[in-house]
Amino acid sequence: MNESKAESLSIFKEKILNEDPNSWSSDLLKKCLSQLKLSVSGSKEELAKRVCSLKQNPELLNKLTEKQSTAYSFKTSLGKNNIPPPEAPWTDDKSQYPKVWCDSKF
C-alpha cells in the first residue's frame, strides 16, 4: 500500500476519534467511509450514524484500518516486461489443457 493511503487512513481514524462526525459534510463522510471500504450510500444522517458507530467501537475501527493497510504481493514467473497489460485481449488456448479420457460406459 502506498504511503498516502496509509496517511489518509490515519488522518480519518484521528478525525473519527476526536471529532463529531455529525458536523461533517456529506462529501467528507463519504470519503471517510470509502477509505475504509464501507458503504457510501444513504442520507447524510445514515452516513454519520455509520461513522459514529466506528467512534463508539474503536476496536472495529482499528481492525478496518489495519485491514486496509495490509499490502499483498504475489510472485509470478513472468518478468515485469512480459506481463501483459490489463487491456490485453486474453484468449483461451485449449491446446494447453490436459487431455482427459472419459469412458461413456458406466
Binning pLDDT at 50, 70 and 90, where does residue 82 land?
confident
Q: Using N-to-C axis directions, what is the helix angle for 58-69 and 3-18, rounded to 10°? A: 170
Write out pLDDT tens, residues 55-74.
999 999 989 888 887 777 77
Whole-angstrom Cα distance, residue 62 to residue 88?
Answer: 39
Q: What is the pLDDT of residue 81?
A: 81
Specify the higher pLDDT residue, 13 or 82. 13
The x, y and z cell numbers of residue 75, run together, are: 510472485
pLDDT of residue 75: 78
**What secondary structure letter does DSSP report for 85?**
P
Q: Are 54 and 64 in contact (CB under 8 A)?
A: yes
Confidence band for 96, pLDDT divided at 50, 70 and 90: low
Q: Does residue 2 surpass a pLDDT of 60? A: no
DSSP per-residue codes, 45-64: HHHHHHHHHHHH-HHHHHHH
> Is the model's pTM score more than 0.85?
no
Cell numbers linked to 91 = 484468449
